[in-house]
A = this chain, B = another copy of it.
């Protein structure tokens, strides 16, 4: 049981925990909602709770785990074990010592990493990226995140590489939630798409998006709501998704023109929910922008699905020598 590890993917809406064996096969998993009030300590408690539930499902004690990995949004300091500036989490702007807090709560050693990077690690080592030495992970969700592998190794730059969502696809274009203009995410991020839908609704355009949202007890346009609206052939949903796919096509092709990677792996909440047909649509939207257009990269859906982030987080625990407890 020595190499049994835990992984926690901390997201703005959900906390996904897994317990995996030495071959990274999932022995148990649990998903809890992310607290929307309180602060970092409450979120850490919810994370520990999700991990406990996953461990129970796996029939192991959390103290017996060889280590726990965490994939986190915000500014992650791997050395200090802190997370700051996590704007989708409650009252979490100052750096918070997540590693020591979780170590105390769980009783096992904890390692931390960037959420998008650990999801890319998982796809590279265990998922759709396995056959390749270079890849770009594109995580199409609330925002659009990117992870990079080159020559078999992650490329992190000075710590902030992979911000594919903030590549400019239209100079002086739409306002992004980051405050800049014309970012790919301003067209393709789910949060920005919801803003666009609300503005069009106010201008008198028709849509069933918000009725579907209320009918399904949501307060936001989730990936599931977008998928349902597309299935209902809602004009505004089709139009906004078309614009998102066009932006992803231009932005991802730009990244490929720069890096000439072998493969692009599409993940993220919206990418996974819309699935293979939309990975294929993104590939088609990339094609007219590719410079080396006779040999485009392979474009594939993330193979590990919703668990990829948590499984990638568990890979981080390999860097921990042994549990302290």
Contact = CB atoms under 8 A, between A and B. Distances in A.
Interface of A: 134, 146, 148, 150-151, 155-164, 166-171, 173, 178, 180-182, 246-247, 250-251, 253-255, 257-262, 288-289, 291-292, 295
Contacts of A158: 134, 260-262, 292, 295
Given A162-B258, A168-B250, A178-B291, 18 more contacts: A134-B157, A151-B155, A157-B260, A160-B260, A161-B259, A163-B260, A163-B291, A164-B258, A166-B257, A167-B167, A168-B251, A169-B169, A171-B246, A180-B288, A180-B289, A182-B250, A254-B254, A258-B258
Contacts of A166: 254, 257, 289, 291
Contacts of A288: 180-181
Query: Could you say how many copies of this chain the assembly holds?
Result: 2
Nearest to A257: B163
Contact of A260 (B161, B173, B253, B261): B161
Contact of A163 (B151, B167, B258): B258
A287 B156 CA distance: 20
16 contacts: A134-B157, A148-B259, A150-B150, A151-B155, A160-B260, A160-B292, A161-B260, A166-B257, A168-B253, A169-B171, A170-B171, A171-B246, A180-B288, A181-B288, A182-B289, A254-B254
